[in-house]
């Protein structure tokens, strides 16, 4: 994810999140997750684990996957897969903890995934 692309609907808040106090988008333009383990139940992905890097800090993260399914899209006729995923992490572990404990440290990531083969 390009950290400079953060969009909250508020230009003021976007600027704050891109600043040195948070994502420091100028120095760390990319946050990334690299999975090293995908867990299946039958043919369905149920979780993945890997490493999340934000601001040059890398920590292990487990991502729970729900509603994983694959089928043909009725409009494009492409075979597509989709899922919902979620993870919890601590802002302060990634040097994003400004104002903790006055503002909560634990955050939830909710991810919607849709993919198709080219």
Does residue 79 contact residue 116 with C-beta atoms inside 8 Å? yes
Q: Give the integer Cα–Cα distance in Å for 59 and 97.
A: 15
Total Cβ atoms within 10 A of residue 25:
21
pLDDT tens-digit profile of 33-65?
999 999 999 988 999 999 999 999 999 999 999
State pTM to two decimals.
0.84
């Amino acid at each position: 994810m390009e950290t400079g692309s953060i969009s909250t609907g508020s230009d003021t808040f976007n600027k704050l999140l891109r600043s040195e106090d948070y994502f420091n988008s100028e120095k760390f333009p990319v946050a990334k997750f690299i999975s090293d383990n995908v867990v299946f139940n039958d043919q369905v992905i149920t979780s993945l684990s890997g490493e999340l890097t934000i601001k040059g800090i890398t920590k292990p993260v487990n991502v729970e996957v729900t509603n994983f399914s694959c089928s043909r899209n009725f409009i494009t006729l492409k075979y597509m897969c989709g899922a919902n995923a979620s993870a919890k992490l601590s802002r302060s572990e990634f040097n994003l903890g400004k104002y903790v404990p006055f503002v909560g440290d634990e955050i939830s990531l909710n991810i919607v995934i849709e993919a198709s083969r080219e």
